[in-house]
A = this chain, B = another copy of it.
Amino acid sequence: MTMLDIKIELTTKPKEKPAPDELGFGHYFTDHMFVLDYTEGIGWHDGRIVPYQPLSLDPSAMIFHYGQSVFEGLKAYVTVNNEALLFRADRNFKRLNNSNARLCIPEIDEQYALEALKQLVSIDREWIPSAPGTSLYIRPFIIATEPNLGVHPSKNYQFIIIMSPSGSYYKEGINPVKIMVEEQFVRAVKGGTGEAKTGGNYASALKGQQIADKEGYSQTLWLDGKENKYVEEVGSMNIFFKINGTVITPALNGSILPGITRDSMIQVLKSKQIPVEERRISIDEVVEAAHQGTLEEVFGTGTAAVISPVGELKYLDEKIIINNGEIGEVSQMLYDTLTGIQNGKIEDTFGWTIRL
């Protein structure tokens, strides 16, 4: 794909921006969106920024039938110095291409996508909320649009970026969550689509989430699909355990999403000389550590919450309380460091921030 011009059509009816305390997550959308078409034989073409508007698709468009789709999630922030920045956006487009490869979707030009995103954010710059903890959530996604019921990779796609001003995930300080280990249902398996960011993984996970909800737990802890023994992810986040001073997170094995926040956490831990291991960890090892009193902290990581400390873990009939149900020291440090880099209070020595 060659570097294409991006046509820009600005809205004539700018929407009213919601109040900062009404934002929530993923409810409101900015005035513009980016769209890029793919046509077999032509490639990606007609990149454009247009007013946010409905998609019109034939009912036989393949996205409605065979789930061929990928997406990303990242954020833009306003710093304390009123600068707008993106966080590791290059990594998101790299991962999008990894997902594309698994889902048989043609790859995008990562540099072009980043350039398009920068232009889009610049145009909707005033939509980035500035209250503490708020941000502009960005959702790039690709859908199969060929109007055909045959089961094969689509010949047409749309790559779209929409953006949603989002509220603080933690309105009254960080509240640890209660999670339960899912025993019946499986999110992903080696050889499946677990390491790709594709709709089917999330659809598959809804049932476990529903069971957790009913039992009063806010997230599901997923075990591997082969042996139902090794820890994979929690909800739609990666998971970390601090056991006896060492932070352990499941190694990327093909069925775990390679989280960008996960990677950032590992780098921060290393920079602070806190021992960190990426390896296979069984649920039995976690329970055993809890029994021995060495399970010091548990936390999930992801773009939305940055960190989600786990205060209670249910496995079979046992309920394990972690760190008295409070956020741990390392979790708090990681949260403060990452959000500090994102809001410009802490110098970015990692080269993660992209200024607009």
Contacts and interface: CB of A to CB of B under 8 A. Distances in A.
Interface of A: 25-27, 29, 33, 52-61, 63-69, 71, 102-104, 137, 139, 141, 143, 148-153, 160, 162, 164, 184-193, 198-207, 209-210, 225-228, 235-236
A143 to B, nearest CB: 5
Contact of A59 (B33, B152, B190): B33
Given A60-B26, A151-B236, A193 B199 contact: no
14 contacts: A27-B148, A54-B56, A54-B58, A64-B69, A64-B160, A66-B203, A67-B199, A151-B202, A151-B209, A151-B235, A189-B189, A193-B203, A193-B204, A225-B225
Contacts of A68: 199, 202-203, 206
A59 B163 CA distance: 10
A59 B162 contact: yes
Given A66-B203, A103-B203, A207-B102, A57 B55 contact: yes
* Copies of this chain: 2
- Main SS at interface, chain A: loop
A141 B103 CA distance: 21
Nearest to A161: B59
A148 B137 CA distance: 12
Contacts of A188: 192
Contact of A190 (B162, B186, B198, B210): B186
Given A25-B150, A66-B199, A226-B226, A59 B192 contact: no
